[in-house]
Chain A
Amino acid sequence: MQIHLDAEKCQGHNRCYALAPELFDVDDYGQAVLIVDGEVPTELHDKARLAASNCPEYAITITQES
C-alpha cells in the first residue's frame, strides 16, 4: 500500500495526525507532513485508510492496495 499527501491541498485540519500519528506529523504551521516514504507497513493499513477517509480536503490518497 502506498500513501500520498498533496501538500497543496492540505489546509491543516489535523485529522490525519490525530488518527494516524505513525504516518503523519505536523509542522510548525500545523500542516501535515508524511513521515513514511510512501510505503505503508501492513499493520498500519487500517490507520492509513482512516486518515485518507477523514481528510476534508481530499489531500490524502492511497494507491496500490492489494
Chain B
Amino acid sequence: MTDTVNEEAADSAPSRGGFADRDPIFGDSPEGTDIWQRVPYNPDDYGPVEDYATDFDHADPNYNPNAPGVWKDLRESGCPVAHSDRYGGMWVPITHDTVHEVAYDTDHFTSRAVVVSVGRPGDMALPAPIGGVPPISSDPPFHGMARRLLLPPFAPKQIEPWEDEVRTLCRRLLDDMGGIVPGETVVDAAVQYAQHIPVNVIGRMLGFPEEDEELFREFVHVALETINQEPGTRTGIDDLGKYIAAQIADHRENPRDDLTSYLMNVELEGNKLSDEHVGGSIILLLIAGIDTTWSAIGSSLWHLAQTPGDRQRLRDDPEVMTFAIEEFLRAYAPVTMARMVKEDNDFHGCPMKKDDWVLLPFPAANRDPKQFEDADKFIIDREENRHAAFGLGIHRCLGSNLARLELRVAIEEFIAKFPNFELAGDTRWSVGQIRGPRELPVRILAD
C-alpha cells in the first residue's frame, strides 16, 4: 500500500491486515502516495508571527509562553475566529461559543486529522470514518462504537484503584531528587518529576517494558512538536509503528492482563479488532496519555511556585483540592485539538474551504470572560467551573479520570514534600498543540 513498509516489524508480526505495513500517521509518508498530501505551505517563507488574527501559528515558539495574552488580545480586538495561511489554511475559533460550536458540529468538521502539520490526510488515507488512531480520529457513527470499547478500562471505578501506585511512583520520584538544602537546591519539576508520571502509568497499563519510557517520550515529541518537518523525514514516527507492531506480536505470543491484551481480545460487532485498529488505539493512548498530563502537572506546579497564598491554602484546607484541581485544569488546560473542514462552508462569516484546518483551543475557551467570571484570575476554590479542558461533545478525553487522578496525587505529594518553592530560572514551554512547561527549575525553600 505504501513504500514505507517496515520490514523488520512485518517479519516479526503475523500478517493479519498487518499493523506494521499500515498507513503511517501524522503526515509521515512521502509525497505522492495519496496517503498524506503535502500542504502548500513552506515554513521558511514565514517569519515569527506578528499578527495572530491573520497569521496565527500555534507552533511559533512565542505562542505557548504567552498564549493567554494572545487569546485576550484577539477577543478584545473583536476577533472570535483567527485565520492563517500557514499549514495550507487554518482557522482558529477563540471564544467559548465558537469552540463549543465546532466541537459539537460533526456534520461540518471531521476528526480524521487532529494534529495540525504540513501534511494532511489525502483522499486515500483513511478508510473513513475510522481514521488512523481511533476513536479520536473517527467520526460518527463509527466513533461511538470504537469509543465504547475503550470507555470501560478508563471509567472512574477502574481508574480509582491506580491511586496507590501513582502515589508510590510520585514519592519515589521525589526521593530520587536526593538531599535537599532549603534555599539552595534547585530541582526541575518538569524533567525530574512531571514528565515521568503519566508515561510510567500508561506504559504499565499497556503492559510495555518500563525501560522504554524514554522511547515513548521521544515518540510523543516527534508526533506533536515537529509538525513543520517534511513528511517522510519524521523518522521517529516510523519507529513508533515498528515498536507497536512488535508489542502486539509479543502480546499475541504472551497474552497477559493489560490494556494491550484487552484491545486485542475485545470484539466489535462480533469481530476482534484489526491490528490496525489495535495499533492505532495504542498510539492514541500513548500520545494522548503522556505529555498532556505531564503538561497539566507542570503548569500547576509553575503556578504554585509563584503563589504562596495558594500553596498555604492547599496545606491548611486539603478539602479545597477538589476545586483547585478543576481550576488548574481550567486556567492551564494543556490540550488544543484540531478538526478539518468537511466541505466548503460559511462559519460566522469565515469562508471555510474543504480540508482547511480548524484548531480547537479549549484552553482559550476556558479563559473567555463571557463564560467564566474573572476568567484570567486563578480562583483556587472556584465553585462554578464548566471548563472544557477535556474537550466538549463526543470526543471528551477518554483518559480524563486517569489524568485527574495523576494530577491530584502529583500535586498532593509534591507540596507534602516541598511545601515552599519558587521559580529558579527560565521555564521552557512546549511548542505546538499541547501547552505546558518542558523545563521548570524551582528552588526548594524552607517549610
A contacts, CB < 8 Å to B: 11-15, 17-19, 26-30, 50, 53-58
Question: With A11-B394, A53-B386, A56-B387 as given contacts, are A26 and B148 in contact (CB-CB < 8 Å)?
Answer: no
Expressed in whole angstroms, the minimum distance between the Cβ of A26 and any Cβ of chain B is 5
A residues within 8 A CB of B106? none
B residues within 8 A CB of A30? 151, 154-156, 401
Expressed in whole angstroms, the minimum distance between the Cβ of B408 and any Cβ of chain A is 10
CA distance A41 to B157 in the complex (A): 26
CA distance A56 to B396 in the complex (A): 10
Extra contacts, 8 of them, besides A30-B401, A54-B385, A56-B387 (Cβ < 8 A), are A11-B393, A14-B404, A15-B326, A17-B156, A26-B155, A55-B386, A56-B392, A58-B386
Q: Are A29 and B386 in contact, with the CB atoms below 8 A? A: no
CA distance A14 to B159 in the complex (A): 12
- Asked if B176 CB lies within 8 Å of chain A CBs, one says no
B contacts, CB < 8 Å to A: 148, 151-152, 154-157, 322, 326, 383-388, 390, 392-394, 396, 400-401, 404
A residues within 8 A CB of B388? 56
Q: Are B322 and A29 in contact, with the CB atoms below 8 A? A: no
Contact of B155 among A18, A19, A29, A57 (CB under 8 A): A29
B residues within 8 A CB of A11? 392-394, 396
CA distance A55 to B388 in the complex (A): 10
Expressed in whole angstroms, the minimum distance between the Cβ of B438 and any Cβ of chain A is 28
Q: Are B384 and A14 in contact, with the CB atoms below 8 A? A: no
Leading 5 A-B pairs by shortest Cβ distance: A30-B155, A11-B396, A29-B151, A53-B384, A56-B386
A interface majority secondary structure: loop
CA distance A53 to B400 in the complex (A): 19
B residues within 8 A CB of A13? 390, 396, 400
Q: Are A28 and B152 in contact, with the CB atoms below 8 A? A: yes
Q: Are B396 and A18 in contact, with the CB atoms below 8 A? A: no
A-B contact pairs, 19 of them (CB 8 A): A11-B396, A12-B400, A13-B396, A13-B400, A14-B156, A14-B400, A17-B156, A18-B322, A19-B322, A26-B155, A26-B156, A28-B152, A29-B151, A53-B383, A53-B386, A56-B390, A56-B392, A57-B392, A58-B386
B residues within 8 A CB of A57? 392-393
Residue of A nearest to B387 (CB): A56
CA distance A17 to B400 in the complex (A): 14
Contact of A54 among B384, B390, B404 (CB under 8 A): B384
Q: Are A14 and B401 in contact, with the CB atoms below 8 A? A: yes
Q: Are B326 and A54 in contact, with the CB atoms below 8 A? A: yes
CA distance A50 to B326 in the complex (A): 13
CA distance A56 to B326 in the complex (A): 12
A residues within 8 A CB of B157? 26, 28
A residues within 8 A CB of B155? 12, 26-30
A residues within 8 A CB of B387? 56
Expressed in whole angstroms, the minimum distance between the Cβ of B111 and any Cβ of chain A is 15
CA distance A13 to B155 in the complex (A): 10
A residues within 8 A CB of B386? 53-56, 58
CA distance A42 to B250 in the complex (A): 56
Contact of A12 among B383, B384, B392, B396 (CB under 8 A): B396
Contact of A29 among B152, B383, B390, B404 (CB under 8 A): B152
CA distance A29 to B394 in the complex (A): 14
A residues within 8 A CB of B152? 28-29
A residues within 8 A CB of B401? 14, 30
CA distance A26 to B400 in the complex (A): 14
Expressed in whole angstroms, the minimum distance between the Cβ of B230 and any Cβ of chain A is 37
B residues within 8 A CB of A58? 386
